[in-house]
Amino acid sequence: MSAHRHQTPLRGVKAIPRPRAGDPNYTEINYAYAGKTGHVHEVVTIGGKQLAKVGFDDRKIVYYLLEDLELDASAKRGTFHDEK
């Protein structure tokens, strides 16, 4: 098992995944959510790579490489966990 580190400064930041076509790091589910707006729940570092856990309006959580996200920190922050 790989050791990993959690980072939360980006929690709630609006994120739009833009994975490169044919990238072996991604599966069908990653591409299904590509281009959709979600929010970062947390960022973890695993094996030297930063992965963002992104939550979408349908409550689905999908991991993306942080470098493949279009981030908008100026948007209202929040995740579906923050809804009341």
- Is 23 within the bounds of a domain? yes
Question: Residue 62 is part of a domain; what is its CATH number?
Answer: 2.30.30
Number of domains in the chain: 1
Radius of gyration for the chain, computed over Cα atoms and rounded to the nearest angstrom = 12
- Is 26 within the bounds of a domain? yes
Question: What is the per-residue pLDDT for 84?
Answer: 43
The residues with which 14 forms a beta bridge, in sequence order, are 39, 72
Q: How many helices (H) and strands (E) does the chain have?
A: 1, 6
Question: What is the per-residue pLDDT for 68?
Answer: 97
Question: What is the domain extent for residue 20?
Answer: 4-75
Question: What is the per-residue pLDDT for 75?
Answer: 60
Question: In terms of Cα–Cα distance, which of 33, 38, 67 is closest to 50?
Answer: 67
- Is 84 within the bounds of a domain? no
Question: pLDDT 10s digit of each residue in the chain, 84 long?
Answer: 455 555 578 888 999 999 999 999 999 999 999 999 999 999 998 889 999 999 999 999 999 999 999 998 786 665 555 554
**In 1-84, beta strands by DSSP E:** 4-7, 14-17, 38-46, 49-56, 61-65, 69-72
